[in-house]
């Protein structure tokens, strides 16, 4: 059962997130062609393309919050299936759009659907994988699907765009979701998780309370339910992560083109940071498992990326700049993502894990990505280079590294800082000890 679980549950979630990230990144590949067809080249390119690229994140921010709280009330399986169908349909229809307004509308729909989808996968991970399996489970659910899509997506979609234009990019990604991923989820997730970890929403209220070891109704979720101020540090850490990740990912095809890479070299150069991330994931995960220092390693990812991006103005050659970007993003994503989510998922119980991860990802990835998308785009318009925007991302990454370390400090030692009643509270801290 254990091996089958990893293939059936982990593998299915990898493929789902793989397609979801192809849907997110295809616009970055096709935005130049779209700008010519829709008439926003020249001076209007920075503003209009920033709105188009970040429209997804506006929907994503709002829907992550709703999607997280929906995990308490709805069966995650059918929520996932419905949302995959919706965001895949939005991709198909994007391929037939003929105006900026419709393009932005379908990108918002994409963000809404994927924002509701995203917390549900962690609800499934919480149900199927135990504490000792959570780092590997987080890596499978969040990491490999995401970065395989970015590595292969930029590499494959860029030459496809060069040969057939931007519309087939959306028809292809939308069609794969509807024809392959929706049926896969229906079949692969047909069985229930182990009895001890079934979804609270799938059982009568009395059973849910007994499974939680309590004879009293669960308290209404409030700010204190998530751990108070330390939770805000976690959200801010992920906000800087969202700035760093989306600020680079939304613009990297155009950034590497500005460095002189075109055609197949542009696709390869755009994919290199994420290929490096996949290569570094195994040794970094081994180091994390061996030392148990998840949060310090996560913080090191933001710190290293921040320093390297701030060095960009001092490197003259395009190859040197690309190398700095690749190492910055490659190491940061390998060190930060799986460790941060392994900690976050472990710190919340089966009721709060969905809302908590939705809040973190909504404000972090959604909010941070929106800010970064506009910052990088408008600094490029005013300076003629993507470097100033990437430097700003580096400064924010350093601030995020500090917030991550501070969260780890409170996680270890702030007995009176967290409310006793919170799922992530003093009792949880004592039980898990000091290894972070």
* Nearest partner of 161 among 321, 36, 323, 14, judged by Cα: 36
CA dihedral 170, 174, 175, 178 (to 10 degrees): -170
Confidence class for position 324, pLDDT limits 50, 70, 90 = very high
Contact 411, 230 (CB under 8 A): yes
* Nearest partner of 118 among 177, 75, 85, 76, judged by Cα: 76
* Contacts with 211 (C-beta within 8 Å, 6 or more apart), sequence order: 196, 198, 200, 203
Residue 424 pLDDT > 60: no
Confidence class for position 427, pLDDT limits 50, 70, 90 = very low
Give the global pTM. Answer: 0.79
Identify the residue whose tokens are 């169908």.
85
Helix ranges (H only) for 144-202 are 145-164, 167-176, 182-188
Could you tell me the CA-to-CA distances from 27 to 254, 256, 309, 387 in Å, in that order?
A: 11, 16, 24, 21
Tell me the two tokens of residue 110.
């994409």
Per-residue model confidence as pLDDT tens digits over 71-100: 566 677 788 899 999 999 999 999 999 999
* Nearest partner of 299 among 398, 367, 181, 191, judged by Cα: 398
Contact 117, 67 (CB under 8 A): yes
Report which of residues 133 and 32 the model is more confident about. 32
Write down how long the chain is. Answer: 436
Per-residue model confidence as pLDDT tens digits over 370-413: 999 999 999 999 999 999 999 999 999 999 999 999 988 886 66
Per-residue model confidence as pLDDT tens digits over 214-255: 444 555 655 555 666 788 888 899 999 999 999 999 999 999
């Amino acid at each position: 059962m254990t091996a089958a679980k990893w293939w059936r549950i982990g593998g299915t979630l990898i493929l789902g997130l793989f397609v979801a990230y192809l849907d997110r990144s295809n616009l970055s590949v096709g935005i130049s062609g779209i700008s010519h067809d829709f008439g926003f080249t020249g001076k209007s390119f920075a503003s209009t393309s920033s709105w188009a690229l970040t429209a997804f994140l506006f929907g994503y921010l709002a829907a992550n919050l709703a999607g997280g709280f929906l995990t308490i009330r709805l069966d995650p399986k059918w929520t996932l299936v419905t949302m995959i169908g919706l965001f895949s349909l939005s991709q198909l229809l994007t391929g037939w759009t003929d105006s900026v307004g419709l393009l932005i509308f379908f990108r918002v729909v994409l963000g809404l659907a994927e924002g509701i989808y995203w917390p549900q996968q962690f609800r499934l991970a919480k149900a199927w994988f135990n504490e000792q399996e959570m780092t590997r489970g987080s890596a499978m659910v969040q990491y490999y699907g995401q970065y395989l899509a970015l590595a292969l997506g930029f590499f494959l979609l860029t030459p496809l765009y060069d040969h057939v234009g931007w519309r087939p990019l959306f028809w292809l990604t939308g069609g794969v979701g509807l024809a392959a991923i929706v049926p896969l989820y229906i079949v692969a997730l047909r069985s229930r998780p182990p009895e001890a970890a079934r979804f609270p929403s799938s059982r009568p209220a009395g059973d849910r309370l007994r499974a939680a070891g309590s004879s009293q109704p669960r308290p209404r979720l409030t700010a204190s339910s998530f751990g108070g101020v330390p939770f805000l540090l976690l959200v801010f850490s992920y906000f800087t992560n969202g700035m760093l990740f989306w600020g680079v990912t939304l613009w990297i095809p155009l950034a590497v083109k500005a460095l002189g890479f075109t055609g197949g070299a542009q696709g390869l150069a755009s994919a290199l940071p994420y290929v490096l991330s996949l290569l570094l994931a195994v040794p970094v995960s081994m180091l994390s498992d061996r030392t148990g220092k998840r949060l310090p390693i996560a913080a090191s990812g933001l710190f290293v990326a921040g320093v390297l991006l701030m060095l960009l103005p001092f490197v003259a050659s395009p190859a040197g700049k690309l190398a700095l970007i690749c190492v910055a993003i490659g190491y940061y994503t390998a060190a930060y993502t799986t460790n941060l989510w392994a900690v976050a998922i472990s710190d919340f119980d089966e009721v709060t894990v969905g809302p908590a991860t939705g809040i973190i990802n909504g404000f972090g990835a959604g909010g941070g990505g929106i800010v970064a998308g506009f910052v990088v785009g408008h600094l490029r318009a005013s300076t003629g280079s993507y470097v100033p925007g990437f430097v700003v991302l580096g400064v924010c990454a350093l601030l995020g590294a500090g917030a991550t370390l501070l969260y780890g400090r409170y996680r270890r030692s702030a007995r009176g800082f967290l409310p006793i009643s919170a799922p992530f509270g003093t009792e949880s801290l004592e039980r898990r000890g000091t290894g972070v």
